[in-house]
Every structure is written in C-alpha cells, then in structure tokens.
C-alpha cells in the first residue's frame, strides 16, 4: 500500500475535479475543502500492569450544512490528523449522494487494539467518549463504527455518554448491538450497498453479473459481506479474496462465507481449503477479473498498480482506495470505477435508519431495512448516472461529487448569510 498520497489532498482534488463541472463560486468551494473544526486530544489510561499509556485521538467535524455531523471512529496505528480530515470530508459527500439529512464527521484513535486487553480497549474507548461528550449528541454529531471498531465499542460509547448526561440517548451513536438500540441489517449494510452498486453498475453497463469473476481486497466487515452477497444474491463467482496476511485464489470460485469462517477461526484467509493458490495482495489487485472490490484501506491502488489493473469494473467498498493519479490512469484505460461514497454508503444509510428508529423508539424488521436501503442506493445510482450523462463526464466518481456538492452548496446557500 502506497503512503505517497495524502488522503486529505486526494479529497480536495476530487472536489476540484467535480467543481469544474459545477457553477459554484470559488469562495463557496473553498469552504467545502476544509473541516469546520477538529478535536485533537490525548487519552491517558491505566494499563492492566498499572503503568500509564497515552493515545492520540481525533474527531473532525467537516461540514454540518445538511444535518448533524456523521461518521465512524477508527482504531488503527496509522490514524493521523489528515486521514481523519479526509475521511470526515468523504462523509459529507457520501451522506449527500444518498440524500440523508446529515453532514460529515470522522474520528480515530492511534492504537493497534490487538496489542491491548479487552479491559484496556474499554478504558481507552470510555476515555475518548468522555472527551467527545460535549461535542457529540443526537442532534450534533453521531459517531459510528469503522476499521477495528464495532458494536462493542459503540455500546461503551453510548453507555458512557448516557451515564455522564444522566439520560437515555441511544441515537447519540449508531452501529450498536440490537439490545443496546441497534438496527436489524446494520452489520451487513455496507457490504449490501457494495453488492447493490455492483448489480446496478453491471446492469447499466450492459454486462452480466451472473457468473462474473470477482476479487475482493480486504476481508473484514465490508469486504466479506460484499463477497457473500455478490455470490448469494447475484450469482457472482468470488475467485480471490485477501486480508493483511495475503490473498487466496481459485479460478472456479469458492464459498465466500466459508472463507470468512476460516478467517474467523484462524485469523486469516490464507490456508483456506477452497483456495487453489496463494497470491500477494498486489497480484490480487491486478487479476484479470470482471469485478474488483477494494475493501481494505485507502491508497490501496496507486499509480503503479493502476497501470496493471485488468478488472473491467471496480466497485469501492473501502474509503479512498484509489489515489487521484491512479484514478486518472483507470479512467484513461476505461476501467469503470464506481466510487466509495455510493458503494459503501449502506453503512451510513442504515445508521440513519437506526437513528430514526432510536428517536421514534419504534423498531423495523430486517426486511424493511433492506428494502429501504435498496431504494436509497438505486435512487442515488440513478442520480449519479443522470449527472454522468447530462454533463458528459469521463468517470462516475466525478458524477457522484457533482451531485453531492450541488446538494451541500444548495443547503449552505439556502441558509443565507451568517454572521
Ligand atoms: P475491518 O477492520 O473489518 O476489515 C479490514 C480488512 O482489511 C481486514 O480483513 C484486514 O486484514 C484487511 N487489510 C488491512 N490491510 C490490508 C492490506 N494491505 N491488504 C489487504 N487487506 C488488508 O474494516 P471494515 O469495517 O471492513 O472497513 C474496510 C474499509 O471499508 C475501510 O476503508 C472503511 O473505512 C470502509 N467502510 C467501512 C464501513 C463499515 O460499516 N464497516 C462503512 C463504510 C466504509
């Protein structure tokens, strides 16, 4: 994975690319290229052996023109201020393309949670929740899971917030377990939107998804669910998947769910009996497949790798997996890329459904959640392809940003001038 591209600069470049097709004033645009505010804090906790350790943490509130800030919290040693800024900006355009009433935010702690006990991770999480308390809230900023965080961390954050505020406010955070006020369908939602985007993309391009060969980079929540649903619901043929320990390949395809079970049991997809051979992650990204799904971290496909990408269609489950230079190369070589802000928007969309249910204290069936999600993603896909055709654009990412920026700018300008 390249560390050359600064994800925040990538975000700004993506905004500029789309703005060239929009009638938006330069000064209004400038505002959309920077976060409104960032909390940077140091969390000091006691480790199990009695010593102290301090962890850097961030929360970026990028833009709130369309509603409360919304976005996940990531635990990873590579978390940085610029990464959090970029991820929070992508959330603004993601909530706008799927037209849900939120702005964008993102947070992260510089930590490798695997190196700490559960009790230590809980203390770090509660410490972060305490720091976040004044700036989050059901109407202000609503965090959610991201890389290396899940229901457990969300439940702790909700519990800390509610205890400190002496209230019940399940809508302060989404991605909770069902008994803590979570929504049916939330765990699968990101992968489901990737599957739906792939289905719509193949249909739009006049390609057959049934039997299509599929490679998935990253086999966590987003990647493994996307692979399973592409197989189960679209009859796609998953031929390769990977995680941070390596990649596995079988030209005839294998059982995506069984590969996930193997990863859960052993910690890695490598060694899975359904595989014929093992590959490097770079080999996976350059396989000659019909569909490539990057679902690990940002900058997975840089310019060097892009030169060798042979997939026909790329559907981005990860946030920012393709650097701007690589994007240009893929556009040039007519690889059709369907962007993250649509393809992984299922997570935030079902988070929105969770928040709606929390506020109404009325809970939906999984079927209703999935039906509503399908409606949101297909409508967003149609808005994107309309913009692509109307503006005669060269790629679908720019089309997504054209739609999203228009919506954010309209909300800002309708608010009038203040102060
Ligand atoms: P996760 O921690 O569940 O999974 C990440 C996976 O990527 C793991 O299997 C890990 O081994 C693998 N990985 C890490 N480095 C790799 C590398 N160099 N090569 C190959 N695999 C590698 O995380 P997740 O929640 O699935 O998130 C993955 C991506 O999807 C991130 O970009 C995240 O921001 C994005 N995303 C997630 C959600 C969600 O709801 N989970 C929503 C929107 C976007």
Summarize pLDDT for 206-225 with one digit per residue, the tens: 999 999 999 999 999 999 99
Task: Look at residues 321, 343, 365 and tell me which one is the last residue of a structural domain.
Answer: 343
CB-based contacts of 292, cutoff 8 Å, min separation 6: 214, 215, 217, 285, 309, 311, 313, 314, 315
- Tell me the H-state helices in 267-339: 281-285, 303-308, 324-332
Say if residue 104 is in the same domain as residue 232: no
Note the pLDDT of residue 2: 44
Of 195, 185, 145, give the one whose Cα is nearest residue 381.
195
What tokens were used for 15? 């905004």
Alpha helices of 110-213 — where are they, by DSSP H?
118-132, 151-165, 186-205
Of 70, 85, 94, 106, which residue is the catalytic one?
106
Count of structural domains, the chain? 2
Task: Using the mean position of ligand 1's atoms as its centre, give its distance from the Cα of residue 110 in Å.
Answer: 16
In a 3-state reduction of DSSP, which class is residue 302?
coil
The CATH number assigned to the domain holding 29 equals: 3.40.50.10860
141 Cα to the center of ligand 1, angstroms: 23
- pTM over cut 0.75: yes
Residues framing ligand 1 (Cβ under 6 A): 1, 145-148, 190, 217-223, 242-244, 281, 295-297, 317-319, 344, 347
Per the domain annotation, does 77 fall within a domain? yes
> What percent of the chain has a predicted confidence (pLDDT) above 90?
91
Judgement on whether residues 162 and 224 belong to the same structural domain of the protein:
no
Q: Could you tell me if 11 and 80 lie in one domain?
A: yes
Full pLDDT tens readout for the chain, 419 residues? 445 678 899 889 888 888 889 989 989 899 999 999 999 999 999 999 999 999 999 999 999 999 999 999 999 999 999 999 999 999 999 999 999 999 999 999 999 999 999 999 999 999 999 999 999 999 999 999 999 999 999 999 999 999 999 999 999 999 999 999 999 999 999 999 999 999 999 999 999 999 999 999 999 999 999 999 999 999 999 999 999 999 999 999 999 999 999 999 999 999 999 999 999 999 999 999 999 999 998 899 999 999 999 999 999 999 899 999 999 999 999 999 999 999 999 999 999 999 999 999 999 999 999 999 999 999 999 999 999 999 999 999 999 999 999 999 999 989 887 66
13 alpha carbon – ligand 1 mean position (Å): 23
Ligand 1 center to 146 CA (angstroms): 8
Please check whether residue 401 lies inside any domain of the structure: no
Which residue's alpha carbon is nearest to atom 30 within ligand 1? Answer: 318
Q: Is 215 within the bounds of a domain?
A: yes
- Residues 234 and 303 both lie in one domain: yes
Residue 44 included in any domain: yes
Closest CA to 345 of 303, 309, 317, 304: 317
Domain of residue 137: give its range: 7-171
In a domain, 314, yes or no: yes
Are residue 161 and residue 222 in the same domain, yes or no? no
Answer yes or no: do 300 and 208 share one domain: yes
235 located within any domain:
yes
Atom 28, ligand 1: which residue's CA is nearest?
296
Q: Which of 343, 378, 412 is the last residue of a domain?
A: 343
Give yes or no: 263 in active site.
no
Same domain, 272 and 225: yes
What is the dihedral angle through the alpha carbons of 234, 327, 58, 110, rounded to the nearest 10 degrees?
80
Model confidence over 104-145: pLDDT tens digits? 999 999 999 999 999 999 999 999 999 999 999 999 999 999
Largest interatomic CA distance in the chain = 64
Nearest protein CA to atom 15 of ligand 1, as residue: 244
For 74-95, write each residue's pLDDT tens digit. 999 999 999 999 999 999 999 9
Query: Within a 13 Å sphere around the CA of 341, how many CA atoms are in the beta-carbon half?
Result: 31
Same domain, 213 and 293: yes
């Amino acid at each position: 994975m390249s560390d050359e591209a600064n994800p925040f600069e990538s975000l700004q470049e993506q905004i500029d690319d789309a703005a060239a097709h929009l009638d938006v004033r330069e000064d209004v645009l400038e505002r959309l290229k920077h976060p409104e505010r960032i909390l940077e804090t140091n969390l000091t906790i006691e480790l199990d052996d009695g010593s102290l350790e301090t962890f850097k943490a961030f929360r970026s509130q990028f833009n709130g023109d369309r509603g409360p800030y919304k976005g996940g919290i990531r635990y990873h040693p590579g978390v940085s201020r610029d990464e959090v800024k970029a991820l929070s900006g992508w959330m603004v355009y993601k909530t706008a393309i799927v037209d849900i009433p939120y702005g964008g935010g993102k947070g992260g702690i510089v930590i490798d949670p695997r190196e700490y006990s559960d009790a230590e991770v809980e203390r770090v999480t509660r410490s972060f929740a305490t720091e976040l308390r004044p700036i989050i809230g059901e109407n202000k900023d609503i965090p959610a899971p991201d890389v290396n965080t899940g229901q457990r961390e969300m439940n702790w954050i909700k519990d800390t917030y509610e205890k400190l505020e002496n209230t019940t406010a399940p809508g302060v955070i989404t991605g909770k377990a069902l008994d803590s006020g979570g929504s049916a369908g939330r765990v699968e939602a990101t992968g489901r939107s990737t599957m739906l985007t792939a289905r719509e993309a193949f249909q739009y391009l006049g390609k057959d998804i049934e039997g299509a060969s599929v490679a998935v980079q990253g086999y966590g929540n987003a990647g493994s669910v996307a692979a399973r649903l592409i197989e189960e619901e679209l009859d796609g043929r998953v031929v390769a998947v990977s995680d941070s320990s390596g990649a596995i390949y079988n030209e005839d395809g294998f059982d995506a769910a069984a590969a996930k079970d193997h990863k859960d049991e052993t910690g890695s997809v490598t060694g899975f009996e359904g595989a014929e051979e093992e590959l490097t992650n770079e080999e996976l990204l350059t396989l000659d497949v019909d569909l490539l799904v990057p679902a690990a971290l940002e900058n997975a496909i840089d310019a060097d790798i892009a030169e060798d990408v042979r997939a026909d269609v790329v559907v981005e489950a990860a946030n920012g997996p393709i650097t701007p230079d690589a994007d240009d190369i893929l556009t040039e070589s007519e690889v059709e890329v369907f962007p993250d802000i649509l393809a992984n928007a299922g997570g935030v969309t079902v988070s929105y459904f969770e928040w709606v249910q929390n506020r109404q204290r009325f809970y939906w069936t999984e079927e209703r959640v999935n039906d509503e999600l399908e409606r949101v993603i297909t409508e967003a896909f149609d808005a994107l392809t309309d913009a692509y055709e109307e503006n005669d654009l060269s790629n679908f990412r720019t089309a997504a940003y054209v739609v999203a920026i228009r919506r954010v700018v309209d909300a800002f300008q309708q608010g009038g001038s203040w102060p």
